[in-house]
Chain A
Amino acid sequence: MAAGDPVAAAADGGPRGEDGELIMFLEPDQLVADKTKPVPRAVLSTRASALLWALRVFVVAVSAMVIYTFVSHLA
């Protein structure tokens, strides 16, 4: 360990006064303050939106069939 190396000192659990150096172990976008900023909204093409809606309707319909079958078997 190099003398006075703040990273090694902090990783070593050095004096409490060096805790502030711990921030350097996080990437800037790992900080809570940064993560709470929303990422920009993606622009979906009409085709992509239509495909997502089709898939959503498809899984809801099939789920309804599974749930109907489940309930009918209980009766």
Chain B
Amino acid sequence: MTPPPLIDPPVSVDGLIALPVPGLTHEDAARSRDRARVDYARRNKHHFHLVWLLVGPGILAMIGENDGPSMISYAASGATYGLGFFLPFIVLTFGMAVVCQEMCMRVGAVTHRGFGQLVLERFGPMWGWFGAGDLLLTNLVTLIAEFVAIRVGLAYFHLGAGVAAILGLVLVAFTLSGGRYWRWERIVLGLAIFNGLFLVTALMVGPHWGSVGHALVTFSPFPAASTNTLLLLIASTIGATVTPWMIFFQQSASADKGLTPIDLKHGRYDTIAGGVLAAIFGCGALITGAALFGHSGSSIQGLAGAGFPGALRVVSGNAVATVFALGLVEAGAVALLTISASTGYAVGECLGAAHSFNNPPRKAAPFYAANIVVALIAAGVILIPGAPLLSIALNANVLATVLLPVTLVFMLMLANDRALMGQWVNRPSTNRIAIVIVVFISLCGAAYGIDSFLQSTHIIGAG
């Protein structure tokens, strides 16, 4: 017995498949084929195949957030402060991300609808469009930063901004060309494996593992920095692990993949696996950066040129630098694809248009157009001579942190909505943890925003 072939059903001229089932669309037929394979694996107890079929959205959301600016931010923390507080803090923030993303997966699997669509329909167009507006703003800024990361990685190989822009756009166009969610997901998962390059560089620099263990257990040494710098680093690290696009993406992708309540256990495996892998790779970037601690690492302007790979070449050798540069290209590329997808989902859902990779482009024009246009704008920005790319990249994560609480509150409301979720509503313990996370993130974002503003207006001095 062999799994069903990956072929599309016959399609008639009006877009409905030529089957004796009224109203069954191309999207339905494609999704039902994926579900047939899941059903086959489940009925025949092919456990590993079932895991293989059901993983995807969770790993992609988590690894996608291990993006270019995040990895540079982790490496910068390591280069500036060495191994210490930020190593376990990365692990802690990915723990927070798992709690938030599990809710997204669950709501998507139970309701079969994306986050933007549910907020818009359940709470009204105004709240829906507010959420989509937040997402578009943070996604655009973040996508610029992804192109910057690709550019930084390629600069090590003496390739310029134009190559970075073309490479990114070709990748987006290629992954969108299949008209199948399964194809898109597997290509991006294949690319995401290379996020492990940051673990390779960490092993190559030969850290003192006793210091790594000590930092993970004790959260020390605590970085000696000004309050504002610490708040910036904490806000950036949170923004590097939990963001609005991840929530839009995982819920919409879970629905697009066709997850149902019977798949919740595997959805949790997927989310936890993504969180664990992302935390390990993120810590790998910090440990690699820490190799520069004490070698003027804090002075590296990583995004202004090929700063980190170049500095690593001097301290740790050409092999480490090459792998790190390739890792930056991968991190930027995967995030480019997942963040563009989250934009497409949000736009399609809020416009009430078709929003699935299982549709051909002519059947879901706004969805595909949003994917492409947002990437095009971001690629255009990095080609502008003198654009403040360093500042944009550094502020991308902070802006995501500041705007996140509203998205998280709506996520909590949806996950507790018994009319939508039935028996799959949040447990009280999940609610307690989620509320603590929302309050913590709100306070961190506000503390940095207010402190920076007061310093910029000279109401208080730098401290």
- Residue numbers of A with Cβ under 8 A of B are 1, 7-8, 10-13, 16, 19-20, 22-23, 25-27, 29-33, 35-36, 38-42, 44, 52, 55-56, 58-59, 62-63, 65-70, 72-74
Residues of B within 8 A of A65 (CB): 449-450, 452-453
Assess whether B124 is in contact with A23, with CB atoms less than 8 Å apart: no
Assess whether B417 is in contact with A42, with CB atoms less than 8 Å apart: yes
Residues of B within 8 A of A8 (CB): 1, 40, 43
Once A11-B4, A42-B122 are accepted as A-B contacts, the answer to whether A62 and B445 lie under 8 Å apart by CB is yes
Residues of A within 8 A of B267 (CB): none
Residues of A within 8 A of B186 (CB): none
Assess whether B123 is in contact with A23, with CB atoms less than 8 Å apart: no
How many whole Å from A48's CB to the nearest CB in chain B? 8
Once A19-B19, A52-B127 are accepted as A-B contacts, the answer to whether A26 and B32 lie under 8 Å apart by CB is yes
Assess whether B4 is in contact with A58, with CB atoms less than 8 Å apart: no
How many whole Å from A22's CB to the nearest CB in chain B? 4
Query: Which chain A residue shows the least CB distance to B442?
Result: A58
Residues of A within 8 A of B453 (CB): 65-66, 68-69
Once A35-B113, A70-B391 are accepted as A-B contacts, the answer to whether A23 and B2 lie under 8 Å apart by CB is no
Query: Which chain B residue shows the least CB distance to A26?
Result: B32
Assess whether B122 is in contact with A39, with CB atoms less than 8 Å apart: yes
Assess whether A42 is in contact with B123, with CB atoms less than 8 Å apart: yes
Assess whether B450 is in contact with A74, with CB atoms less than 8 Å apart: no
Once A12-B2, A62-B445 are accepted as A-B contacts, the answer to whether A31 and B28 lie under 8 Å apart by CB is yes
Assess whether A68 is in contact with B40, with CB atoms less than 8 Å apart: no
Residues of B within 8 A of A16 (CB): 10
B316 at the interface (CB under 8 A from A): no
With A25-B38, A40-B122, A66-B448 known, 18 other A-B pairs at CB within 8 A are: A7-B36, A8-B43, A16-B10, A19-B17, A25-B35, A27-B260, A30-B260, A32-B354, A39-B118, A41-B124, A52-B409, A55-B406, A59-B405, A62-B445, A62-B449, A63-B399, A66-B399, A66-B402
Residues of B within 8 A of A29 (CB): 111-112
Per-residue contact bits, chain B 405-421, to A (CB 8 Å; 1 contact, 0 not): 11001000000010110
Assess whether B29 is in contact with A73, with CB atoms less than 8 Å apart: no
| Interchain CA distance A33-B403 in the complex, whole Å | 33
B25 at the interface (CB under 8 A from A): yes
Residue of B21, B36, B391 touching A73 (CB-CB under 8 A)? B391
Assess whether B25 is in contact with A23, with CB atoms less than 8 Å apart: no
Once A11-B4, A12-B1 are accepted as A-B contacts, the answer to whether A41 and B121 lie under 8 Å apart by CB is yes
Query: Which chain A residue shows the least CB distance to B34?
Result: A25
Once A22-B32, A55-B409, A59-B403 are accepted as A-B contacts, the answer to whether A66 and B24 lie under 8 Å apart by CB is no
Assess whether B35 is in contact with A74, with CB atoms less than 8 Å apart: no
Q: How many A-B residue pairs have CB under 8 A?
A: 144
Instruction: Tell me if B's interface is mostly helix, strand, loop or mixed.
Output: helix
Once A22-B32, A29-B112, A42-B417 are accepted as A-B contacts, the answer to whether A69 and B456 lie under 8 Å apart by CB is yes
Residue of A38, A42, A58, A68 touching B456 (CB-CB under 8 A)? A68
Assess whether B40 is in contact with A30, with CB atoms less than 8 Å apart: no
Residue of B36, B398, B419 touching A10 (CB-CB under 8 A)? B36
Per-residue contact bits, chain B 1-36, to A (CB 8 Å; 1 contact, 0 not): 111110101100000010111011101110111011
Residue of B17, B40, B419 touching A11 (CB-CB under 8 A)? B40
Residues of A within 8 A of B354 (CB): 32
B183 at the interface (CB under 8 A from A): no
Assess whether B406 is in contact with A59, with CB atoms less than 8 Å apart: yes
**Residue of A23, A27, A62, A74 with highest tally of chain B CB at under 10 A:** A62
Query: Which chain B residue shows the least CB distance to A62?
Result: B449
- Return 10 A-B CB contacts under 8 Å, by A number: A22-B29, A22-B32, A25-B36, A26-B35, A39-B121, A40-B122, A40-B419, A42-B419, A67-B399, A69-B456
Residues of B within 8 A of A73 (CB): 391, 456
Once A7-B39, A11-B40 are accepted as A-B contacts, the answer to whether A23 and B24 lie under 8 Å apart by CB is yes
How many whole Å from B79's CB to the nearest CB in chain A? 21
B446 at the interface (CB under 8 A from A): yes
How many whole Å from B73's CB to the nearest CB in chain A? 16
| Interchain CA distance A65-B33 in the complex, whole Å | 49
| Interchain CA distance A26-B23 in the complex, whole Å | 14
Residues of A within 8 A of B112 (CB): 27, 29-30, 35
Assess whether B449 is in contact with A66, with CB atoms less than 8 Å apart: yes
Query: Which chain A residue shows the least CB distance to B235?
Result: A66
How many whole Å from A53's CB to the nearest CB in chain B? 10
How many whole Å from B314's CB to the nearest CB in chain A? 29
| Interchain CA distance A33-B419 in the complex, whole Å | 20
Residues of A within 8 A of B21 (CB): 20, 23
